[in-house]
Structure 1
Amino acid sequence: MKKWVVLLTCSLLMGLTAAALAQDNASLEERVRLLEKAIGGTEAGNSWWDRIQVSGLVEVEAYYQDADTADDSSDVDLATVELAVDARIIDHVDGHVLFKWEDDDLFVDEGFITLTGTDAFPAYLIAGRQYLPFGRFDTHFITDPNTLILGETNEGSLVAGCRIGGELVDLSVGAFNGKIEEAGEDNHVDGFVAGVTAQPFEGLTLGASYISSLASSDAFSEVITDRNGDGDIDPVEDFVGGWSAFVTFEFLDRFRLIGEYVSALDEFEAGEVYIDTDPDDRKPAAWNAEFGVMIVEDLELAVRYGGSDDGADFLPEKQYGAVINWGVFSCTNLALEYLHDEYEDDVEETDTVTAQLAIEF
């Protein structure tokens, strides 16, 4: 009798243990399933780490400059560091952040959310800090072209657009609150930008754009004057719009031609730009033309001719030079550049030699 009781008791304990283990295993599997769901699953291409891409840029530069009205100068230093994070949130929703170190400052250069449409409705919306679709600013050179200095604009903005025929035509419009205000107006979103880019056939890209306030561009806004002497940049009497046109043509898998023009649509009043005692109205314009040839694989030679009107000492009236780009290793470029600048009214001439070592990852 005792033997049967012991056997029955053991069987009951084993059954309870097996049931408990089965329940624990089920709970464990459920917890794993929930965890996988929280981090995006484990299927290929669906994990959160597969939806984030990190890239970057490091540039080290050395230069020597010979100026006819100032002492010669030279330096070698870290010029730029960029770290970009791109995230695919879900289909049709992406995020982008670009951290940048430049001129001893660390800042967020770009940060925006992109909403994209479908193949049947190829529209998009970009919201956040971004470079406005004004100008193209293509270049082979280390030094920025005059067109970029006059027109490049980075602002918090909303930009909406539509792509027609894939990459055939891109139409975009945007709204922003610029750095420079109009006299007598409140601080509102009152800046507008519009652009069109077309690729009629492979190798050829051309376009035109408009901005309602050229004074809001990153560099040009810094030469709007303090006419009241209160230490703050003054509003302009009226917004002066700007326009841009560009063409980039690549042919025979070896040659690349770049041309661009950026100009104000009207004149700034005397004393509004450069210096407050300037007696002349100013209608600044800038242009840049470059021709590059791939001599052999990973070795490119390019020449530039550019200039400006009404640029004072802000933009060279005439600029020409050459650059050699050598892809030393994968994602590693060594460039050597020479530029000659001549400024308005023969105020100054400079000759500058710059070397740059850059890596991308």
Structure 2
Amino acid sequence: MRLFIEKGGTPNHTFTVGYTMESDGFTVDFGVSYINNLIDADAWEDIIDEEGLALNEYAAGMGAYAIVGVGQLTLIGEYVTALDEIEWIDDSGAAVNEDEIAAWNLEIAYAFTVGEKEAVLAAALQGTDEAQSRLPETRYMGSFGIAILEGTNLAFEYAHDEYENDDEEDALTAQLSIEF
């Protein structure tokens, strides 16, 4: 059993409180977090550059997550939301206010062996609210990964995205990772 509190530093201030417990064939890990500027997350940098926006005021955010493992099955739930409206300044200098953005993730994974190789099959349902078609409103995902050599994994992932403006995207990704 582990109770933890983490604090991040400047320029963003983050704070996380969580609880982790492990016993025979069962694990649970859950927590909540706070960040003083949710829009400083990595994915937002490209969006801000593409749209010519500047953040007028920090938009605080909070999140919650739960991970439960039972034997070879893992269930994950996550939710992140802005706590305030997001205030932008556009290229003309005009203020643009948007509702609080939120994102969520539900995922299930099953670990098993193929021959003597560890493998994982997973599926996820993800979504956003008030993302203005910048991020998918709904994403369906499936993946399969296998350890092909010691420290070397091969994974395939399929994602189908549906946006608020009725656009759709499909992506198939293959990843070879090597640990050293």
User: Shorter-chain TM-score category?
Assistant: 0.7 to 0.9
Percent identity, aligned pairs only, is 34
- The alignment covers a number of residue pairs equal to 172
Per the alignment, do residues 323 and 225 of structure 1 end up closer, same or farther by CA in structure 2, a change over 3 Å counting? closer
Q: Residue 250 of structure 1 corresponds to which residue in structure 2?
A: 69
1:170 partner amino acid: F
Q: CA deviation at 1:300?
A: 1.4
Per the alignment, do residues 328 and 168 of structure 1 end up closer, same or farther by CA in structure 2, a change over 3 Å counting? same
Q: Are the aligned partners of 1:248 and 1:256 in contact in 2 as well (CA < 8 Å)?
A: yes
Distance 1:321 1:235 in 2: 31
Q: Residue 35 of structure 2 corresponds to which residue in structure 1?
A: 211
Q: Are the aligned partners of 1:323 and 1:338 in contact in 2 as well (CA < 8 Å)?
A: yes
Q: CA deviation at 1:173?
A: 2.2
Please give the root-mean-square deviation of Cα atoms over the aligned residues, in Å.
Answer: 2.6
| SS state at 2:76 partner | strand
2:141 partner amino acid: G
Compare CA radii of gyration and give the structure with the larger one.
1
Distance 2:119 2:37 in 1: 40
| SS state at 1:314 partner | coil
Per the alignment, do residues 325 and 226 of structure 1 end up closer, same or farther by CA in structure 2, a change over 3 Å counting? closer
2:110 partner amino acid: V
Distance 2:89 2:106 in 1: 29
Q: CA deviation at 1:234?
A: 3.2
Distance 1:277 1:338 in 2: 39
Q: CA deviation at 1:356?
A: 1.4
Q: Which has the higher strand share?
A: 2
| Structure 2 unaligned regions, length at least 5 | none
Give TM-score, length-normalised by structure 2. 0.83
Q: Residue 359 of structure 1 corresponds to which residue in structure 2?
A: 178
| Counterparts of residues 1-361 of structure 1 (less than 5 Å) | 168-177=2-11, 191-202=12-23, 203-224=27-48, 234-236=54-56, 238-252=57-71, 254-269=72-87, 271-272=88-89, 281-296=98-113, 297-346=117-166, 348-361=167-180
